[in-house]
Amino acid sequence: MRRAKVKKENPPVRLLGTMFLLVLGLVAVYVVLALGIFALVQQLVHLDKANYTLLWPILILTISAILGVLLAVFIFRGYLAPLSRLMQATQSVASGDYSVRVEMRGARGEVAEYIRSFNKMAEELSGVALLRMDFVNTFSHEFKTPLISIRGFAKLLQNDDLTPEQRQTYTNTVVQQSERLAAMSTHILELAQYENTEIVSGKTLYSLDEQLRRCVRQQERDWLQKGLTVEGDLDQVDYYGNEELVEHIWSNLLSNAIRFTPAGGQITVVLRQGEGEITVSVSDTGIGMDEETQRHIFEKFYRAAPYPDSRGNGLGLSIVRRVVALCGGRVAVFSRPGNGSTFTVTLPAAGE
């Protein structure tokens, strides 16, 4: 179905129209003043043909002009003062000051709309600037930590007096930190790609339950090494979406469940086909989270304490939230300290 295009009136044209009407009104007021003063002078002075000279019309027009100008200055000053504040605030934003806000005092009509839109824009820019600064600081810290570790252990490996056990330990540390850097770079590129994506392309109809089984098999080595049990209760569901994109959701949720579940624990994956929506939940019997952690768990680079290992980088759940949003769904978490966690993803069951 094609949507009809709605023709929107250009705001500058509306403002010019308002200004034109204002000037036209001032001209009308000027004419009324002139006629009024002429009538008043005629009554006071009793003008007739005998004492009528060109001095009187000139005097009347001059007085009318002075009064008209004073009135125009008064009106324009009240109308243009908010625009003047808006222009000054715009210059401040252009120079990088996103904290500026324009007062609504005296603003009416279109000018009030412009000021509200400007304040909203400045607030959004301020939030983006703060987020960017925080991201850069955190990003630098997260990259600096493994780099320092790699440099330190690489220098230790240059020592010829190391025992084979020490050399193996230092080498393993360098490899682990290098893998962490590589994973972080990959996740940052993925997150940047998804955050700059608004329309998901490459959609196909595929088996969602088979995709979940495949993701479990791909991480089989990790959960077997910890002696975990993975159980599934999957409805047979066909889903229309970008298969590669959606797979990032399940891979990250399963990876987190494996990481935070102690040896001998259990992970359960449930898939349900509902009316108009599909629900997937990934539960574990891990260490769980308190309410404060749950509030920040989807933020970039956030790593809850205590963190079980150094492989994570705090980006997996940020990717999950963004991909779920691109798919038109939502993600929620329920957890209690010591009682495990359950992540629930709800996707719209839209047909092809």
Domain map of the chain by residue range?
Answer: 11-97, 137-195, 204-348
Residue 173's pLDDT is: 85
CA-to-CA distance for 75 and 62, rounded, in angstroms?
20
Torsion of CA 123, 129, 133, 138, to 10 degrees: 70
Report percent pLDDT > 90 for the chain.
22
User: Which DSSP state fits 228?
Assistant: -
Equal fold, 137-195 vs 204-348: no
Residue type, 172: N
**Dihedrals phi, psi of 330, to nearest 5 degrees:** -150, 155
Q: Is 191 exposed, middle or buried (0-12, 13-18, 19+ CB in 10 A)?
A: middle
Q: Write the DSSP assignment of 213-226 as a string of letters.
A: HHHHHHTHHHHHHT
The predicted structure's pLDDT at residue 116: 85
The DSSP-derived string for 75-90 is: HHHHHHHHHHHHHHHH
Please tell me the least confidently modeled range out of 206-210, 265-269, 295-299, 326-330: 295-299
Residue 260, classed as helix, strand or coil, is helix
Token readout for 50 is 């005998």
Per-residue pLDDT, 232: 92
> Could you give the CA distance from residue 332 to residue 284 in angstroms, rounded to a whole number?
15
Please give the model's pTM, rounded to 2 decimal places. Answer: 0.53
Here the tokens at position 165 are 């056990």
Distance from the first to the final alpha carbon of the chain: 15
For 302-333, what is each residue's pLDDT tens digit? 766 655 555 555 677 888 888 898 888 999 99
Q: In the CATH scheme, what architecture does the domain 137-195 have?
A: Orthogonal Bundle (1.10)
CA–CA distance, 66 with 345 (Å, rounded to integer): 72
Mean pLDDT for 32-48 is 62
Does 262 sit behind a cis peptide bond, omega within 30 degrees of 0 on the bond before it? no
Write the DSSP assignment of 112-124 as a string of letters: HHHHHHHHHHHHH
Q: Is 104 helix (H, G, I), strand (E, B) or coil?
A: coil
Question: pLDDT tens for residues 1-26?
Answer: 333 333 444 445 455 555 556 666 66
DSSP code string of 52-76? --THHHHHHHHHHHHHHHHHHHHHH
What are the structure tokens assigned to 211, written together? 């995709």
Looking at residue 37, its pLDDT comes to: 64
- Which of 8-12, 73-77, 118-122, 183-187 has maximum average pLDDT? 118-122
Q: CB of 301 within 8 A of CB of 254? A: no
Residue 22 to residues 27, 75, 92, 113, 164, Cα–Cα distance (Å): 9, 9, 29, 18, 89
Of the candidates 159, 93, 160, 150, which has an alpha carbon nearest to the alpha carbon of residue 122? 93
How far is CA 18 from its chain centroid?
35
Collapsing DSSP to helix, strand or coil, 334 comes out as strand
Bridge partner residues of 267 (DSSP): 230, 284
Element (H, E) at 34: helix 11-45
Return the minimum-mean-pLDDT range out of 131-145, 264-278, 328-342.
131-145
Q: Which fold has domain 204-348?
A: Heat Shock Protein 90 (3.30.565)
pLDDT above 70 (res 251): yes
Q: Are 234 and 269 in contact (CB under 8 A)?
A: yes
* pLDDT confidence of residue 160: 85
pLDDT category at 84 given cuts 50, 70, 90 is confident
The span from the CA of 270 to the CA of 268, in Å, is 7
The whole-number average pLDDT for the span 38-48 is 60
Res. 108: pLDDT tops 90: no
**Which pLDDT belongs to residue 3?**
37
**pLDDT, greater one: 59 or 223:** 223
Strand 229-234 versus strand 266-273 pairing type: parallel
